[in-house]
Amino acid sequence: MKESSPLNLYKQLPQTNCKECGEQTCMAFAAGLIDRTKKVEDCTPLIKEKKYAKKLDTLKSIVSPELALVLIGTGEKQVKVGGEDVMYRHQMTFFNKSPFAYDVADNMDEAKLVERVKKISTWRKFYIGKWEQVEMIAVRSVSDDPAKFAACVKKVMETSDYPLILCSFNPKVLRAGLEVAAKNRPLIYAANKDNWQEVAKLADEFKVPVTLSVPFDLDGLKSMAATFVGMGLKDLILDPGTAPNGKKLQESLLNFIKLRRAAVEEAQRDIAYPVMALPINAWLTTQDPVRAAYWESVLTGAFVIRGGAIMIKHSIEAYSMMPDMHLRFNIYTDPRKPVQVKPGLYKVGTPGPESPVIVTTNFALTYYTVESDVASNSINAYILSVNTDGIGVQASVAGGQLNPTKIKEAMDETGFDWKGQKYPAIMLPGMAAKFSGELEDLFAGKAKIMVGPEDSGRIVGWMKDFWPPK
Ligand code: SF4
């Protein structure tokens, strides 16, 4: 969506302020369309009344993302691929984080296959208030045997409800997989210069998204995309080739950038599709599994920041997955909204009358750092997360979002029973030490104000020296 002014979207709305969309005004709805908290379909008069048909078409074309959005899978686990509007995150935000698909192969022993699928689909990591996880499973045909592939796909589907990528260049193998899995809308990988006619027929027959693989030939890729679109197939993913090392890797990275630029800056609609990266190719570079897993992680990071919209990977070792999960989390976090936790009083461990109340802000990174430092040292405490609009301690002290009145009000809102505390005291972050005098006055007769360390990593030492208060 090139449009960033709600006023221009407002012009295409009925302008009746009927509130059916859940907003008070059409202008608020227009603003919601820009930040994607609202969909065009939420404006029922626009959808239902024929007199708005032209406006509806115009609005849809304005709000459609620069990079096509492709949906894979169905139901809750469905993944959104692409749908981005900007080249760089800081220009607005990225919306749909690249799904990571981990591979299984149809030549695996059944017990090992089930074990790996379970590991992939239960992997979780709690990071800054959210669970990071794998999104997809890529089923690779190594046997090139349609019956074996179909049996493998069936077993994977019995074990996990994750969306699938069916991987083979053999149309017969792909057909066998689709006959089992098509109802779950898998992605097929891939059409290439040899098989594209048969694979296009499969995508059309089974109504599934398809990957176009034309390595290191952007003109060939563009031409194939145009051919598929001409056949009415619009759910396309592009595979421009992922070389795992050397000069070709440089070419791969440049191709990813060129494709994203063509889509969002040059509005080349015929190539504005999400791009797939294959960090799994790192395994072609070495026999050493640790080096391969490490290099796969490096490649993943490189392609995440260059617009890889979906990836196929192999290593499920934590040391390979965690850096990629963290990097992806941060790249796909909205820079316009600091990650926040709900303000309020939280219990860490089993706090009681002898526990301190530790004050921090509701910036998620700050909150979870404090919580982790407290919990990992087996300290039982209350943590008061003060609403600073998601700004950290140092900046909110400087900017006034954290101040003595706000701390007092936040504490009062929790209804905390100070009388039940053996040591009624508040630990103020060291960086907010200048509030201690004013807070002493505000909490007079209720709680003592103690200045804690500037770094929550030192809370454990602080507790040894200063708790319980003398
Ligand atoms: Fe305006 Fe449509 Fe919302 Fe009604 S439903 S307030 S017409 S945007």
**What is the number of the ligand 1 atom nearest to the C-alpha of 19?**
6
* CA 340 – ligand 1 centroid, Å: 30
Domain residue ranges in the chain: 6-63, 69-332, 344-466
Strand order of the β-sheet with 425-428 is 344-348, 381-386, 357-361, 425-428, 448-451
Closest ligand 1 atom to the C-alpha of 26? 1
Determine the distance separating the centroid of ligand 1 and the alpha carbon of 1, expressed in angstroms: 20
User: Rounded to an integer, what is the distance from CA 1 to the centroid of its chain?
Assistant: 20
- Closest Cα to atom 1 of ligand 1: 26
- Ligand 1: which of 7, 10, 29, 37 to mutate, most ligand atoms within 8 Å of CB? 29
The bridge status of strand 79-82 relative to strand 69-72 is antiparallel
Ligand 1, residues 7, 24, 40, 46: which to mutate, most atoms within 8 A of Cβ? 46
DSSP codes of every residue in 302-325: HHHTTTEEEEEE----HHHHHHHH
CA distance 325 to 261: 25
Tell me the CA–centroid distance for residue 151 and ligand 1, in Å.
Answer: 50
Question: What single letter denotes the amino acid at residue 459?
Answer: I
In this predicted structure, what is the pLDDT of residue 337?
81
Residues 6+ apart with CB under 8 A from 436: 428, 449, 451
Residue 36 CA to ligand 1 centre (angstroms): 15
Q: What is the pTM of this model?
A: 0.84
- Is the fold of 6-63 the same as that of 69-332? no
Confirm or reject CATH 3.30.43.10 for domain 69-332, answering yes or no. no
Measured by CA distance, the residue closest to atom 2 of ligand 1 is: 43
Q: Token pair 């017990």 is at which residue?
A: 111
- Residue ranges of the chain whose pLDDT lies below 70: 1-4
CATH no., domain 344-466: 3.40.50.11600
pLDDT given for residue 199 in this prediction: 98
Q: Output the ligand 1 site: residues, CB below 6 A.
A: 13-14, 16-21, 23, 26, 29, 43-46
Q: Residue 6: what pLDDT?
A: 87
The predicted pLDDT at position 2 comes to: 63
The CATH fold assigned to 6-63 is 3-methyladenine DNA Glycosylase II; Chain A, domain 3 (1.10.15)
Pick from 10, 40, 47, 1: nearest CA to 28 = 10
| Cis previous bond, 176, omega within 30 | no
- In ligand 1, which atom is closest to the CA atom of 14? 7
pLDDT at res. 224: 97
What's the pLDDT at 126?
A: 87
